[in-house]
Structure 1
Amino acid sequence: MSVITIDQASRWYGNVVAVNGISMTVRPGVTGLLGPNGAGKTTLIALMSGFVAPSAGTVTLDGEPIWRHTDAYRTIGLVPERELSFGYLTGRQFVLANAELHGLADPGAAAERALEVVEMTEPAGRRIGTYSKGMRQRVKLASALVHDPSVLLLDEPFNGVDPRQRLHLMSLLRRMGAEGRTVLFSSHILEEVEQVARQIEVMVSGRHAASGDFGQIRRLMTDRPVQYVVVGDDDRALAGALIAEPSVVAVALRRAGGVDVSVSDFGAFTVRLPQVARQHGIRILELTPTDESLESVFAYLVGG
Structure 2
Amino acid sequence: MTAISTQSTAGAPATATSTLDLAGVSRWYGNVVAVNDVTMRLGPGVTGLLGPNGAGKTTLLHMMAGFLSPSRGTVTLDGAPTWRNPAVYRQLGLVSEREAVHTFLSAYEFVLASAKLHQLPDPEAAARRAIELVEMEDAQNRRIGTYSKGMRQRTRVAAALVHDPQVLLLDEPFNGMDPRQRLHMMALLHRLGDTGRTILFSSHILEEVEQVSGTVQVMVAGRLAASGDYRTIRRLMTNRPHVFAVRSTDDRALAVALMAEASVSGVELGRTGLTVKAGDYGAFTRALPRIALRHGIRVRQLLPEDESLESVFSYLVEA
- Matched with 2:57 is 41
Moved more, 58-67 or 216-225: 216-225
| Secondary structure, aligned partner of 1:185 | strand
Using structure 1 for the length normalisation, give the TM-score: 0.75
Deviation, 1:224, is: 4.0
Which residue of the other structure, out of 197, 201, 225, is the alignment partner of 2:217?
Answer: 201
Task: Give the drift of 1:34.
Answer: 1.3
Residues in 1 aligned to 2:117 and 2:37: alpha-carbon distance in whole angstroms: 34
Residues 230 and 312 of structure 2 are in contact (CA less than 8 Å); yes or no, is this contact kept in structure 1? no
Structure 1 vs Structure 2: percent identity of aligned residues? 63
Instruction: Tell me the equivalent position of 1:70.
Output: 86
Correspondences of 1:191-270 after superposition (within 5 Å): 191-219=207-235, 224=240
Q: Is the 8 A contact 1:2 1:150 kept in 2?
A: yes
Partner of 1:297: 315
Moved beyond 2 Å, runs of 4+: 217-226, 246-250, 292-300
Contact 1:35 1:298 in 2 (8 A): no
More displaced stretch, 122-131 vs 212-221: 212-221
Match of 2:156 in 1: 140
Shift of 1:4: 0.3
The structural deviation recorded for 1:144 is: 0.2
Where 1:125 maps in the other structure, the secondary structure is coil
Matched residue SS, 1:51: coil
How far the C-alpha of 1:14 sits from its partner, in A, is: 1.5
> Does structure 1 retain, via aligned residues, the 8 Å contact 2:20–2:75?
yes
Partner of 1:285: none
Cα distance between partner residues in 1 of 2:33 and 2:158: 33
With the length of structure 2 as denominator, give the TM-score of the two structures: 0.72
CA contact (8 A) 2:92 2:168 kept: yes
The answer on whether the counterparts of 1:17 and 1:206 sit within 8 Å (CA) in structure 2 is: yes
Tell me the equivalent position of 2:181: 165
Shift of residue 248, structure 1, vs aligned partner: 5.7
1:100 paired residue number: 116
**Cα distance 1:115–1:57, how it changes in 2: closer, same or farther (>3 A)?**
same
Q: What SS does structure 2 have at the residue aligned with 1:72?
A: helix
Alpha-carbon shift at residue 171 of structure 1 (Å):
0.4
Matched, 1:9 2:25: yes
Q: Which amino acid aligns with 2:30?
A: G
- Give the aligned partner of residue 81 of structure 1: 97
Q: What one-letter code is carried by the residue in structure 2 that aligns with 1:297? A: Y
For 1:259-297, what per-residue CA distance to the aligned partner results, in whole angstroms no more than 9, with x for missing partners?
xxxx967x99xxxxxxxxxxxxxxxxxxxxxxx798743
SS at 2:140's partner residue? helix
Cα distance, 1:123–1:66 mapped onto 2, change above 3 Å: same
1:298: how far off?
2.8
Q: In the TM superposition, what whole-angstrom CA distance separates every residue of 1:41-73 from its partner, at most 9, and x where no partner exists?
A: 111110111011101000001111111111100
Give the residue type in structure 2 aligned to 1:68: R
Q: Unpaired runs of 5+ in structure 1?
A: 227-243, 251-262, 269-291
Aligned amino acid, residue 89 of structure 1: L
Decide whether the 8 Å contact of 2:131 with 2:158 is kept in 1: yes
Displacement after TM superposition at 1:113 (Å): 0.6
Residue 65 to residue 121, structure 1, CA distance change in 2 (3 Å):
same
2:77/2:88 contact within 8 Å kept: yes
Secondary structure in 2 aligned to 1:37? coil
Query: What SS does the aligned partner of 2:102 have?
Result: coil
